Amino acid sequence: MPLTAPQPKESLEAAWAGLQQFDWIQKLRGVPQDPIYHAEGDVHIHTKMVLEALISDPEWQDLTEADRQSLWLAGVLHDVAKPYTTEFKEGGRIGHPGHSRKGADQARSILFHLGVDFALREAVWGMIRYHQAPFWLIKASNSESRMARLSWQTSARLVSILGKADILGRICEDEAAVLENIELFRMFAEENLALEAPMPFANEHTRTGYFAGRCATRHDVLFDDTWGEIVIMSGLPGSGKDHWIRQHLDLPMVSMDALRHARGVKHGDQKQQGRIRNEAIEMAKVHLRAKQPFVWNATNLRLTRRDPLVTMAMDYGARVRIVYVEASADRIFQQNKDREHAIPEGALLKLTQGWEVPTALEAHQVDYFIDGEQVRMPFLEG
């Protein structure tokens, strides 16, 4: 498999040659970088240097095979969005604003379509999303909050290893200073019990409240007076959300699809989408006022869709559980064709190029069911 990491002490060349078949690797050629921070040349050159630094690192070599593979893929894809984020500035300077976040989402889509294991893919997403954090986090005014968020979405230790390879895989004058920042990042993570596991909280309710901005520090303890659980579904069309609900829940359901079908609204009709959503919200509020647990069934593929629902449920004193359901790309496209109300294939393909998988920051509990089996994120296990 061309995405497989080399074995420890193995040469980079064969693995690097295998990667050249992918268009997203070829698109890195000729993409310019800031001459002060990347005197080595374009993004393609830099990526190879990062991988060389990574596999030469004794710390990487001593990791488990799973961690070596996730770091390898993160190194391969860490700058995949630079071709689309390049900005030319005065004085010959070059920037790539937002390439970490955009690159993480792009990597998720690439690995999804290549059939890469879900937990591995999401571990790679988290490392790319935060691969620059070790460079600067220790100097941030809200460093504890940033470290907490990072540690619940990826492994701080693995991110520090990737950061080290990133700085060693370039030619720049500030290498020593950045390496010092990375070491301070590791020390700070260790002091906060967040190097090898997520930063601890008193309980799930406090953690959820902290990330929702409902308590000042992670040391506060929120009294858990929730009266019941609201389940928010998330997943691409055709992933099996309805089937999962039938198998696992016996609750009233607020369904965006059901409302669209009942009102004769076609998929993609943005003029009517707001009306349907408002109607669904009113239905949800009826349940919340009655303190009746229920399930909200919709794709909810973006944080901007899920967050207002979580906030509404918590404002009414409910506990929130997000259930994310996913199937393989082939299965999703086939199941969509078999649905009574299939969405256009082009629209479905577009959804697979930029969706956001829920993270542990969003709710009291986030569960992942992939092809019918529950999957746990390795970086949350500690």
For residue 91, give the CATH number of its domain.
1.10.3210
The total number of structural domains in the chain stands at: 2
**In terms of domains, do 105 and 254 share one?**
no
**In terms of domains, do 181 and 238 share one?**
no
Rounded to whole angstroms, the Cα distance separating 102 from 80 reads 9
**In terms of domains, do 244 and 342 share one?**
yes
**In terms of domains, do 168 and 246 share one?**
no
Q: Which residue among 142, 171, 191 closes a domain?
A: 191
**In terms of domains, do 287 and 163 share one?**
no
Determine, yes or no, domain membership for 340.
yes
Determine, yes or no, domain membership for 155.
yes
Per-residue pLDDT tens digits for 10-68: 999 999 999 999 999 999 999 999 999 999 999 999 999 999 999 999 999 999 999 99
The first and second tokens of residue 346, run together, are: 């082009």
User: Residue 201: helix, strand or coil by DSSP?
Assistant: coil
Determine, yes or no, domain membership for 28.
yes
**In terms of domains, do 257 and 171 share one?**
no
Whether residue 265 is predicted with pLDDT greater than 90 in this model: the reply is: no
User: Residue 258: helix, strand or coil by DSSP?
Assistant: helix
Determine, yes or no, domain membership for 223.
no
Per-residue pLDDT tens digits for 350-378: 888 889 999 999 999 999 999 999 999 98
Could you list the residue range(s) of the whole structural domain that residue 360 is in? 229-380
Query: What angle in degrees, to the nearest 10, is found between the helix axes of 156-168 and 175-191?
Result: 180
CATH, residue 296 = 3.40.50.300
**In terms of domains, do 234 and 181 share one?**
no
**In terms of domains, do 242 and 137 share one?**
no
Q: What is the pTM of this model?
A: 0.94
